[in-house]
Amino acid sequence: MRTLFDRLGGRSAITAVVDDFYDRLTRDPRVLHQFAEERLPSLRAAQVAWLTTAFGGAPGQPMADLAAAHRGLDITDDQVTAVLGHLEAALSDAGVEPELQRQAMSIVSRLWFARVF
Amino acid sequence: MCDKLPSVDDLVGRQAEFAAIGAALRRPDLAGALFIGDAGVGKSHLLHATLRHAEEAGFVTVSITGTRALGDIPLAAFAALLPGRPAGDAGDLVQIRRALQERAGNRPLLLGLDDAHLLDEASAALAHQLANDLTAFVVGTIRAGEAPPEAISSLMKEGVAVRIPVEPLDAADLSTFAEVILGQPVSDDVAEQLFLRTLGNPLFAKELLLEARSSGVIVDRGGVFHVDGDLPAPSSLSQFVDARLAALGDVHQRAVSLVAIGGPLEIELLEQLVDPDALVELESARLLTADEHDDTLMVGFVHPVYADAARRAVGRLAARQMLRELADALDRRTPRRPQDVLRIATWRLDGGSLADPSLLAAATRIASSRNDFDLAERLGRAWFDQVADTPDGLRAACRVASAYIEQGEYGEAISILADPRVRREAAAPIDRLRGAVIEGGMTFWAFGKVAPAIEMLDAAAAELGGAHPLIDATKAAIWSAAGRPNEALALTPPGSPAATMPAGVASDLLALTTAGTPALALQRVGDHPEFVHTGGAIAAAAHAFALVETGRLRDATEFALDGWERAERAHDRHGCVAWAIALGWADLNAGRRRAAEQWFDRATTLAERSAAAVHGTRWALGGLLLSRAQDTDPSGALLVLDRLSGVPPHEARAHADLELRGRAWLRAVQGDVDGAVRELLDHADEATDRGRHASRVRYLIDVVRLNHPSEALAHLDSVPCVVDGELLPTLIDAIRAAATADAAGMAAVTDRLAELGFLGYAAEAATAAWTMVRDANGETRTVAQYARRAQELREGIDVHVTPVLAQARPEISLSRREREIAELVAEGRTSREVADELIIGVRTVESHLARVYVKLGVRSRTELADALGLLGAPT
Ligand code: HEM
């Protein structure tokens, strides 16, 4: 069974999706203020690494702890919906087929909501 | 959405297990976790806390419980989760999955499976799938020592789910637990005795404490419970439960026994047999509980240990009597649902009372239609014993024989049909016909003999006064499976009654496909849309084969996957074999070698215990052999050959074509290419004589793939070959292009095959096209373009390393400098920028670049980037 990472198109595809994802985030007034401009380049890289591991592209690799990374940010339900929506749109615009997209989103949303379990 | 942790204070001493489930939820490679531990250790409690906790964290949760209630509709527990679904309608897998996905929206879904070891196989299979396709994270409980359904244990074997052992509590935690139960702390004495008695089992401890408090063995002194004497001394939870049940009054005991014997029971049913007040009292005594199930209130035990204990406590004679009472009570109820018929019949049978033959007949039919052949056999036998010497005897025998056949027990099937009590001459003609069809079919499908099967069917037809459509359709199905499409098609002329029977449609489909006209075959089925549902899985799998042969590879895979899911859910082992083989065949054609071999392997394992034991096993092993033999290393194929030698022969043809091609490939791989080619040409000629043009083309294309195109062409042109669809004509074009070294023709074949998804064939065609232009000393740029196409198709797919591919490896090598420059340009640098960076002249850069363009066969910077990507790491 090929990993989700491979089926999504590997590293180059993930990088492209994250670029688009961040472009969308930084244009959205609902979440824009949460992100510090100077952190963006390193965040993009961290996001690529995180998604790569989440999709099985780097087995055994430790993942950033989402609970710690977002502590104190006062994130609202609305913002979560927005962020997940942007990721989904980025996958969709990258031509990822719907079933694959669903599986990818399912992992991300589980890992997000399980951060405070 | 804040970061607070939801509370778990009612979970004493379970921090480790709770941390483990949290960690599992945060592991991207997992899709499930299973709590495993002894009865009463608190697995369900942990599961419910997990569900609650997950909901607070933002998950959507659903939960089902495994029961072993008789007559449960497979998947009923799942279907009950869907709103607006009529009771009793199980819905289908696809609907259930979609509904769950919709319910979850963009939230993650957590699926609880309490008592997963008691799940029916269909529900277990669905849960397995929901985890594997990431629809849900599955959390289940399994009692230690119980064997869960295969689908659940395979989640653990495949590494999709982790097991989380749930151990008894330690002494300190048990004491805290006691305080939570009683609402006040306990003295050290109580704590110590409690631990010694229960060894940390929380359910045991809770029962013991509540009992001790109500009987005054422990008393509250100044806010602490002290013990007055000794706690009750049962040595185990089950002993304790036994004692608790034994202490019940007669009325209560009767109620408990009925629920234990009959499984969860409808409240109205139970109220007919016991005093409703007793039920209320048992509920408040925390023994029984009522749950909504498919819009009906069902009464069961609060914990499975009680069901086990109560079942143990009922004597066999009492149990029989209760079963009869239950059957009578359910019999009075209307309307009667299929599962009621099953329960009444089984209860009567187990209760030792005579069941009405018509009830048994109906129950047998229901059990068969649910693929519960064990039960069908038992009920059918009872029916048969009552009616053996009546005109219905043969019909009952046929039903039972079919159930035996489905389980691969042919000897039993033959002997019940030959039972001396059966009076064939008294049976209705339709039943005599059925008997003949079963016997004839078995002679071919199970024992692999064509001529005796046909003779048997002819004799039956003669006895019944001439031809009959059912006989003709059955004969046609046998002929077509035996590789004789002409004989088959002659029996089912379009518009004839035989051609509209499921067996007839299946036969046409297979016959027309092997004859080389799969498109016509599909058109014929198109006239019988109901066929896919009524024709059985074997027939529907033939549909998948037709789709492959006509070139609709993706449709074939999708259709077969759907069929596989349906067969798996319905426990249709026979169907699973057929679908797995169809999927293996589709993957093999798509150039997905590993996946193909997995499906064939799976089919082999399943076939060994199915109605299609020999035929299915040979077919699956044939596919495996064909795939493994196309390799430079013969050892994998030799192992398959070894397995094949242990399987009896069978005169069916579909598997033989795969097997024979595999044997020829193996011979080639072992060095005797000429011998292999001769074999293949002989088989091609035999296929030509029998009118199997699809097989003929496949044999001849193998000859081309072994580098003998002119022989292939000669055998192609010997007898006209009429084929339709997309694939077979393209393969014929390939034979011609190869024989005439027509590179452009081969390139067109490549594109067509790639477009259709036949990537293995496409990669070979592209490689052949490249060799042709190279050997014809074509222009360097053209050669490079062909090389690139070949390389692109070989990239990333696990195609077979056949001689064509092994000997000819298109390789493009750039010098270090050329590569360096090409990469910079591909990144978007201008020649000027490159020159500055490398400190060389612009002219030098451009002349290097010109050479690179020629070598790679590209014309633009964008094409350059793509081509570099294919080249991989520098050498
Ligand atoms: C929905 C799923 C989400 C995922 C998978 C995710 C993932 C990540 C990852 C991997 C990091 C980097 C951690 C590190 O390596 O340091 C990060 C940081 C960050 N995330 Fe998210 N995030 C999600 C939702 C959100 C939301 C809803 C917001 C708020 C609108 C948000 C705001 C931030 C911010 C501001 C940082 C940077 C913190 C810093 O400067 O260190 N994230 N996220």
**In this predicted structure, what is the pLDDT of residue B722?**
86
**In this predicted structure, what is the pLDDT of residue B623?**
94
pLDDT at B434 over 50: yes
Task: Look at residue B752 and tell me if it is in a domain.
Answer: yes
Task: Look at residue B392 and tell me if it is in a domain.
Answer: no
* Residue B486, both tokens: 């002409």
Total domain count, chain B: 5
Q: Looking at residues B340-367, what average pLDDT do you find? A: 91
- Same domain for B136 and B209, yes or no, is no
Q: Looking at residues B478-506, what average pLDDT do you find? A: 90
Quick check: B54 and A117 CB within 8 A? yes
Quick check: B137 and A110 CB within 8 A? yes
Task: Look at residue B125 and tell me if it is in a domain.
Answer: yes
- Same domain for B41 and B113, yes or no, is yes
CA of A11 to the centre of ligand 1 (A): 20
Q: Considering only CB atoms, which residues of chain B are within 8 Å of chain A? A: 1-5, 21-22, 25-26, 28-29, 53-54, 57-59, 101, 106-109, 133-135, 137
- Same domain for B95 and B219, yes or no, is no
**In this predicted structure, what is the pLDDT of residue B610?**
65
Q: Which amino acid is at B685?
A: D
Quick check: B29 and A56 CB within 8 A? yes
pLDDT in tens, B778-800: 777 788 888 888 888 877 566 55
Choose among A102, A85, A74, A86: nearest CA to A8. Answer: A102
Chain A residues with CB inside 8 Å of B5's CB?
Answer: 116
Which of B217, B233, B249 terminates a domain? The answer is B233
DSSP assigned state of B696: H
User: Minimal Cα–Cα distance from A45 to chain B, Å?
Assistant: 19
pLDDT at B368 over 50: yes
- Same domain for B33 and B161, yes or no, is yes
Q: Looking at residues B847-864, what average pLDDT do you find? A: 75
Task: Look at residue B602 and tell me if it is in a domain.
Answer: no
- Same domain for B152 and B29, yes or no, is yes
User: What proportion of chain B, given as a percentage, has pLDDT over 90?
Assistant: 43
Model confidence band, residue B87 (pLDDT cutoffs 50, 70, 90): very low
Task: Look at residue B563 and tell me if it is in a domain.
Answer: no
The sign of the CA dihedral B251, B253, B259, B262 is: negative
Total domain count, chain A: 1
pLDDT at B874 over 60: no
Model confidence band, residue B536 (pLDDT cutoffs 50, 70, 90): low
Q: DSSP 3-state assignment of B109?
A: strand
Task: Look at residue B150 and tell me if it is in a domain.
Answer: yes
Tell me the ipTM for this assembly: 0.96
Residues B336 and B721: their CA atoms lie apart, in Å, by: 58
Quick check: B28 and A111 CB within 8 A? yes
Cβ-based burial of B328 (10 A; exposed 0-12, middle 13-18, buried ≥19): middle
**In this predicted structure, what is the pLDDT of residue B29?**
92
Q: Looking at residues B364-382, what average pLDDT do you find? A: 88
The whole-model pTM stands at 0.61
Residue keyed to tokens 């696990």: B798
User: What crossing angle do the helices spanning B150-157 and B121-132 adopt, rounded to 10°?
Assistant: 30
Residues B684 and B703: their CA atoms lie apart, in Å, by: 10
**In this predicted structure, what is the pLDDT of residue B492?**
93
Model confidence band, residue B8 (pLDDT cutoffs 50, 70, 90): very low
pLDDT at B708 over 60: yes
Q: Looking at residues B807-827, what average pLDDT do you find? A: 75
Model confidence band, residue B90 (pLDDT cutoffs 50, 70, 90): very low
- Same domain for B23 and B80, yes or no, is yes
A110 shares contact with chain B (CB less than 8 Å): yes
- Same domain for B832 and B798, yes or no, is no
Question: Nearest residue of B to residue A67 by CA position?
Answer: B3
Chain A residues with CB inside 8 Å of B29's CB?
Answer: 56, 59
Check residues B176 and B81 and name the one with the higher pLDDT: B176
Domain that includes residue A96, residue range: 4-113
- Same domain for B683 and B706, yes or no, is yes
Distances from the Cα of B794 to the Cα of B94, B144, B762, B863, angstroms: 35, 49, 9, 18
Domain that includes residue B183, residue range: 171-233
**In this predicted structure, what is the pLDDT of residue B50?**
95
Helix (H) or strand (E) holding B627: helix B613-629
**In this predicted structure, what is the pLDDT of residue B407?**
77
Residue B561 dihedral angles phi and psi, to the nearest 5°:
-65, -40
Determine which of B479-493, B725-739, B858-872 has the lowest per-residue pLDDT on average: B858-872
Preferred mutation among B100, B107, B139, B561 to probe A, highest tally of A CBs within 10 A = B107
Q: Which of B143-157, B431-445, B507-521 has the highest mean pLDDT?
A: B507-521
- Average pLDDT over all residues of chain B: 86
Which of B123, B139, B165 terminates a domain? The answer is B165
pLDDT at B5 over 60: no
CA of B22 to the centre of ligand 1 (A): 20
- Name the residue of A28, A43, A44, A112 to mutate for ligand 1: max ligand atoms within 8 A of Cβ: A43
Quick check: A117 and B108 CB within 8 A? no
pLDDT in tens, B124-180: 888 998 998 899 999 999 998 888 988 899 899 888 999 999 999 999 999 999 999
DSSP assigned state of B37: E
- Average pLDDT over all residues of chain A: 91
Q: Looking at residues B23-28, what average pLDDT do you find? A: 95
A110 lines ligand 1 (CB under 6 A): no
User: Looking at residue A84, which CATH number applies to its domain?
Assistant: 1.10.490.10
pLDDT at B472 over 70: yes
Q: Which of A54, A77, A79 sits opposite B28 (nearest CB)?
A: A54
**In this predicted structure, what is the pLDDT of residue B727?**
95
Task: Look at residue B152 and tell me if it is in a domain.
Answer: yes
- Same domain for B33 and B159, yes or no, is yes
Determine which of B389-398, B571-580, B643-652, B657-666 has the lowest per-residue pLDDT on average: B571-580
DSSP B508-558: HHHHHHHTT-HHHHHHHHHT-TTHHHHSHHHHHHHHHHHHHHHT-HHHHHH
**In this predicted structure, what is the pLDDT of residue B803?**
60
Question: Nearest residue of B to residue A100 by CA position?
Answer: B133
Distance between first and last Cα of chain A: 29
* Helix ranges (DSSP H) in chain A: 4-8, 10-25, 40-54, 66-69, 77-93, 98-113
Task: Look at residue B760 and tell me if it is in a domain.
Answer: yes
Q: Which amino acid is at B581?
A: I
A31 lines ligand 1 (CB under 6 A): yes
**In this predicted structure, what is the pLDDT of residue B235?**
67
* Count of all residues that appear for chain B in the document: 875
DSSP B225-245: EEESS-----SSHHHHHHHHH
User: Looking at residue B76, which CATH number applies to its domain?
Assistant: 3.40.50.300
- Same domain for B129 and B150, yes or no, is yes
